[in-house]
Amino acid sequence: MSIKVIGTGSALPKKQVTNQDLEKLVETSDEWIRERTGISSRYISTGETLASLTADACERALENAGRRAEDIELLLVATCSPEREIPCVACQVQSAIGADCAAAYDLNAACSGFLFALNTAYAYVEAGIYQNALVAGGEVLSKIVDWTDRGTCILFGDGAGAVVVEKCEQGGVLGFVQHSDGARGDVLRCDSRALKNPYVDRPMETEFVLMDGRQVFAFAVRQVPAVIQEVLDQTGIKVEDVDLFVLHQANQRIIEGIAKKLKADLDRFPVNLDRVGNMSSAAIPVLLDELNRQGRLKPGMKLVLSGFGAGLTYGACVIEW
C-alpha cells in the first residue's frame, strides 16, 4: 500500500521583484546575484498571506485532481513562516476551502518541510487511518528576511504549492528517507519571540533569518547526494533509471554540485529558482505543479524528490508518477 499524487496546485504573489529591483535596495547587481545563486527574480507578498496563498494552491490541486474539499480526510501544511502562532495555517486553510472533514495541522522542517509532510501523509494512509490527504508547503519569507542584508534578501521568495494524494496499491511513493542534524542547526536559523514575562525580560537577538551560506552549501552538496543514493538503494532503483530529480530550489550551484556527485545529467534536474527564488517548503510542490501542468510528468515516470535546509533537516523519496 502506498500513496499516489493525483493532483497538484500552486500560487504565487502578484508582485515579481527582479535583481534590478534589489539593486535599488542593497549593494548588489544582477550579475553578482545570478553568478552566485542562479536567481533572476522572486515573488514577494504585498498583502497576500500564507493562509491565502496556501488555500489558493490547495484549491488548484483539488481542481486538478477532480476532488472536492469536503472529501479530504487529512490536511497538512509545511511552513516556517506563519502569520499566527495559533490557529495553525492548516486550520485557516481548512476553513477557507471548506475541507470540514479533514484533520488539520502544521509541520515545521523548514526547506525539507513538504517532504516530511508527504511522508507523514504516507504513514497515516499506510496505517489505515486515512484514505487521502491534501499536503501543502507554503511560505511568506519576505517578512523574516533582513532587506538590508544582501547575503539573504537576494535568495528568498514567497509562494505555496500543494498536492492531493490518495491510497494506491501499486506505484506512487516507493521509498522514503529522512534525517536531521540538530547539532548544526545554528548555521541557518531565525529567532522567535523573546522570553518576556514578570520574572524575566530577555532581548531578542534578531528577528531575521541568519545564515552561514558556506556551511549550508557544503552540507547540501555533501548530504543530498548521499540521501538520494540511500533512498535509491532502498528501492533498488539506479541513478540512470530516474527520469527527473525534483530538488529543493535553494541555489543553482548546489543543484549542479549534486548532479555532479550523482554523475547524472543536469537536464534531469528541472529548475524554477531563476524565476521564483528559494521558497523553502513551497519549492518542491510549486516545481512539481509546474512540471505537471507543462505535461512533463508521464505515467510510470520515476521521480526523486529531495529537500534540505534549516534544522538541519534533509531527506529524499522516490515516486512513480
Averaged pLDDT for residues 104-126: 97
Q: Where are the beta strands (DSSP E) in the chain?
A: 2-11, 15-18, 41-44, 74-78, 103-107, 132-139, 159-168, 172-180, 188-189, 196-197, 200-201, 210-211, 244-247, 302-309, 313-320
Task: Tell whether the model's pLDDT for residue 313 goes beyond 80.
Answer: yes
317 is catalytic: no
Note the pLDDT of residue 212.
87
Task: Tell whether the model's pLDDT for residue 178 goes beyond 90.
Answer: yes
Instruction: Tell me if 2-170 shares its fold with 174-320.
Output: yes
Task: Tell whether the model's pLDDT for residue 179 goes beyond 80.
Answer: yes
The domain 174-320 having CATH identifier 3.40.30.10: the answer here is no
Averaged pLDDT for residues 120-135: 97
Cell 511522508, residue? 119
Averaged pLDDT for residues 21-39: 96
- For 255-293, how does the pLDDT look when each residue is reduced to its tens digit (9 = 90+)? 999 999 999 999 999 999 999 999 999 999 999 999 999
Classified by CATH at the fold level, domain 2-170 comes out as Peroxisomal Thiolase; Chain A, domain 1 (3.40.47)
Note the pLDDT of residue 206.
75
278 is catalytic: yes
Looking at the chain, the whole-number percentage of residues with pLDDT higher than 90 is: 89
251 is catalytic: no
Average pLDDT over the chain, rounded to an integer: 95
Q: Which of 58, 278, 292, 317 is catalytic?
A: 278
Q: Which of 58, 91, 111, 317 is catalytic?
A: 111
Report if pTM > 0.85. Answer: yes
Averaged pLDDT for residues 123-128: 96
> What is the residue extent of each domain of the chain?
2-170, 174-320
